[in-house]
Amino acid sequence: MAVLGSIAMAIIYGLKVNLSVAMVAMLNHSALAHHGASSVEEKDHVNAEPVCQGSNSTEAVEDGPFIWSEPVQGIILSCYFWGYLVSQVPGARVAESFSARWVMFFSVLINVVCTLLTPVAAKMHYVAMIVMRVGEGIGGGVTFPAMHVMLASWAPPNERSVMSAIVYAGTALGTVISMLMAGVLAGTLGWESVFYVMGGLSCLWMVLWLWLIQDTPSKQPLISQEERDLITSSLGSSSSGGHNEPKPPVPWRKVFTSGPFYGILIAHICNNWGWYMLLIELPFYMKQVLQFNIKENAVVTAIPFLTMWFFSMALSKTLDALRSRGKITTTIARKTATFIASAVPMGCLLALCYIGCQRGLAVTLMTVGITAIGGMFCGLLSNHIDIAPNYAGTLMAITNTAATLSGIIVPIFVGQITHGNQTIGAWRVIFFVTIALYILEIIAYLLLASGEEQPWNMGDKPASSIEAAEAEATPLNTKESKQNYNSQEQ
C-alpha cells in the first residue's frame, strides 16, 4: 500500500511538473525576446545588474512554436491549482464516507487522460491548455486527502512517520523522474513526447492499484490474519472499523477553534509557498539567471528532489525509532521535522540572494534547501492523522486547500516580477518574500502544533458517550494488546 501510494503521488506530481520543463522547449524564445526588448530598455536597473554569463550562455536555443508572454506562462502554470483548489474537501468527504481507494484511482485516471490530450490542446489555443491543466488539478486535488484516509486505516502509530514519508516522498521521486525524463524527451524527441510517454506509462499503475489495494485491512484478502490483527489492534476500534462503521459528523466549530489545527494550517500555507517556488519556478531561474540549457536545466533541477527523497526516508525512520524508544514525543518529532523543512531552505535562499553568478554554489545551495524540505513529509503533513485520525482526510483537505493559494499566486507573482526583468535583482525580491513566510511558519508551528490526539476526534459527542465508546473498545486497547504489538514489531 505504501509503495503503490508513493508511486501514485509520483505520477500526480510528475504529470504536474513536466510542463515546467517542457514549456522551456515549447516557447519561441527569439520572438519573446524581441517583444520584450522595449520593456527591458525602460528599466534602468536591468543594465546595472545583468543575468549571469555562463559557459553555455551563447549557445543557440532551439525555439518552440508558442509565443506566450511571461504573464500567460504564469497563468498556464497556475491554473492547475484552480481545479486543485475546489476538489479537495469534496474528495476528502467521499474518501472518508465511501472509498479512498476509488478516489485515488480516478485521481490518477483524470491526470493521465488530460496529460495525453495536452499536446493537442496546446496547438489549438492556450485556453484549451488551461482547461487540461484545470482538469489535472481537479484530479490531483483529492490525492493528499485520500491518502491520509488510507494511512489512517493502515499505518500503526509507531510506523506512521515512515509510512507517511514513503507515500509523500513519492512527490519528490516523481519530480526527479519527471524533470529528467521531460528534459531528455524534449531535447531528443520533441516536447510532445513528454506528455505522450509519461501519460502512457502511468496507465500501468492503475491496474496494480485495483488488483492489490483495499481501503482497510479488514477488506484485504491478500494479507495474513496475523498482520490484519496486528494493524487493527494497534490502531484501535476508531480506525479499524474502516468504512463499515460511519464516522461522526465533522465538529467544524471545534476544528476551527483548535490551536494545533491552526499550527498545521499556517505551516502548510507558508511551506507550500516555498515548495511551489522551487518546484515550479526553479527551471525558469536556472534558465533566466544561471543560463542553463534545457538538458542541463532538467538534470540540475531534478538532483535536489532525489536527495530530498533519501533525506525524508532517513529522517522519518530516525524520528520513529526515537519515538518507539520513548526518547521523544510525537509533538517533538513533528516540530523537529517541520523546523528542518523551513529553517534550512530559508537560510539557503538568503545566501542565494548574495552569491551572484556563482553557478556551482547556487546549485549546491538549492540542492541543500530542497533536500531539507523533505522534512515536511514526516512533519506537518503527518500531523493531521495525529490530532484527529477520524477526520484526517478532511483536515488535510482544509489545510491543503488553503495552501493551494500559494500554488496559484507563486507563478503569477514570479511572472509579474520577472516580466521584462529577468535578472538576479528581480529574483532577489522573490526570494525575500519566501524567506519572510518561512519565518512566520517556524514561529506559528513551534507555538501551536501538537502531536496528541484532540478530544474532538470523536466528534461532538458528550464526554459520557466518548467514555462509553472507549470502554466498549477496551479489548483492542488494553496494555496487553499494545505490548503484544510492540513485541511483534520489534
Average pLDDT of the segment spanning 17-31: 79
User: Which residues are paired to 27 by β-bridges?
Assistant: 66
What is the dotted CATH code of the domain comprising 253-458? 1.20.1250.20
State whether CATH 1.20.1250.20 applies to domain 1-30+63-218.
yes
Between CA 146 and CA 130 the distance in angstroms is 25
Query: Is 27 strand, coil or helix?
Result: strand
Task: Please identify which residue in the block is written with the cell numbers 510542463.
Answer: 19
Between CA 209 and CA 270 the distance in angstroms is 33
Between CA 445 and CA 228 the distance in angstroms is 35
Whole-number average pLDDT of the chain? 81
pLDDT of amino acid 66: 79
Q: H or E stretch including 180?
A: helix 170-188
The C-alpha angle 411, 413, 419, rounded to 5 degrees, equals 95
Least confident of 372-376, 407-411, 449-453: 407-411
Q: H or E stretch including 207?
A: helix 203-212
HSE (side-chain half, CA atoms, 13 Å) at 38 = 2
Domains 1-30+63-218 and 253-458 share a fold: yes
Query: Is 66 strand, coil or helix?
Result: strand
For 189-204, give the DSSP string: T-HHHHHHHHHHHTHH
C-beta of residue 387 within 8 angstroms of C-beta of residue 457 = yes
**230: nearest Cα among 161, 322, 317, 157:** 157
C-beta of residue 389 within 8 angstroms of C-beta of residue 451 = no
pLDDT of amino acid 103: 95
Length, in residues, of the chain: 490
pLDDT at 56 over 50: no
Q: H or E stretch including 384?
A: helix 380-387
Between CA 362 and CA 303 the distance in angstroms is 13
SS3 track for 89-126: HHHHHHHHHCCHHHHHHHHHHHHHHHHHHHHHHHHHCH
Domain boundaries, the chain: 1-30+63-218, 253-458
Query: Is 149 strand, coil or helix?
Result: helix
Between CA 197 and CA 116 the distance in angstroms is 9
Percent of the chain predicted with pLDDT > 90:
40
How do residues 179-227 score in pLDDT, each as one tens digit? Answer: 788 888 888 888 889 999 999 999 999 999 999 999 999 999 999 999 9
pLDDT at 42 over 50: no
For 327-368, give the DSSP string: SS-HHHHHHHHHHHHHHHHHHHHHHHTTSTT-HHHHHHHHHH
How do residues 222-261 score in pLDDT, each as one tens digit? Answer: 999 999 999 888 887 444 344 445 667 889 999 999 999 9
Task: Please identify which residue in the block is written with the cell numbers 470523536.
Answer: 458
Residues in Cβ contact with 448 at an 8 Å cutoff, skipping those fewer than 6 apart = 259, 260, 262, 263, 266
Between CA 242 and CA 4 the distance in angstroms is 20
Instruction: Name the pTM for this structure.
Output: 0.75
